[in-house]
Chain A
Amino acid sequence: MKIILYHLTLTCWLTLGFIQLAAQSSFFTNEKYPKNGLEIQFGWHWIQNQDLVYSPLIYKGSSITSLALQYERFSKKGIHQIAIGFDQSEAEAGALITFTEFGQSFSRKPGHTRGVRLHYGYAHLVKSSDLFQLYFGGILEAQINVNTYNFGWSDDNGYLLSHSLQPWLLAQYQADAKNRLSFEISFPLLSYLARPTYAIVDNHEIQHEGSDLSYVYQNGEWASLDSHQALGFSLVWDRRLSNTAAFQVGYDLSYTRYSQPLPISILKNKFNLGLSFIF
């Protein structure tokens, strides 16, 4: 299991980088001609996760580790968006114990949680006025969350790998020439998820079933709406700084719950600061 998670995490790191999705649109999407937008963000996040395969307790943690990169391509009809994101923090469920073995004192260490998310989305402009734009489209998203539980003798790694197709609603309100408020919401309709099994037995590896991303994918399954619920929500204030740049303050919420083989629930609250540019 450790080797699976090491390869998986390393692959995600190398492939996806150190960034976190905030799903925040550029300030300049209402320009007349097609434009490119680039956003760079960082933020503080607070995470709660509970994975009953490993523990009945809710693990909580927070840190300033979020880095975000998002590219957008604007047209008269809609927005293409590619985004990549990363977050991580220590997480604890309560007081950590200290015990003695072979005359030595051992203490439990905090757990650790990491998440990487990558998405591509397209939203079509469905309503437009001087003050208000409404877009509707879809997102294709890949996400992995890895939670490390440090028990006594071992550290166990739980993971939730998901690929999902989501409807995506984006609304923008132009308060004045310099200020805009954006709201986004999405949730998965079709998902493919991979999780550890009910009982973690490392000797699957003895039979050389693999210890990399392919092994994880082989053990995934399509999820029904009954077994998988998730929600992504974003609220952003853009403050225009110049013709090519804007300052952003935003809040993101993401929640996911999957009930196989036992429920895992992950809730993330993120508060972000960022800069966006058009070129």
Chain B
Amino acid sequence: MRTTRREFLSTSGVILSSLIIPDIMQAVWTDASGPEWQNTAHAAGLVEIRMRSDQSGANVWFDPIGIYVKPGQVVRWIVKENVHTTTAYHPRNGNHSLRIPEKAAPWNSGYLVNPGDHFEVKLEVEGVYDYYCIPHEMAGMVGRIIVGRPIGPGALSFDYYRGRPGTANWLPVPEAAQKTFPNIERIMREKIVRR
């Protein structure tokens, strides 16, 4: 897996992406159904996850919260409202419990402050990838990506690591977040799950 550094679009990039990418992906998601969707998404190579919020900041979410991609596809998170991060569940990210494949590199976008700010990760290792938003994890702003087969720590229960050596200081997934994750079967069946 290769993780790109946090990058901000140039003015032309913002205009280009706002005009083209959402339209392409919206069309892909709107018309998604089975193998046709997979082929289209694979051809596009890039999927977009929007980081959302209502005006008061009371409701925050990733849109979609669950998505299936093929190995090698690039996932882009883009801020629509509020301030967010996309951060992998991994001990290197503040001792959070491991919920991405063991061989995958963790990512942390840092704070994305302005609408249009974005962050990309290329996902190459098969498995389940759980991630969260740092300021909103306690409120349940989390997401799940399945790359290829639904395997690895992210496919296990939230307390799978209890009693294992070296995990004593791992932080559990907050209760509100546990309730938000779409289940794996649904993602595999529907490919895209919105909250």
**Are chains A and B native binding partners rather than an unrelated pairing?**
no
**Interface of A toward B, CB cutoff 8 Å:** none
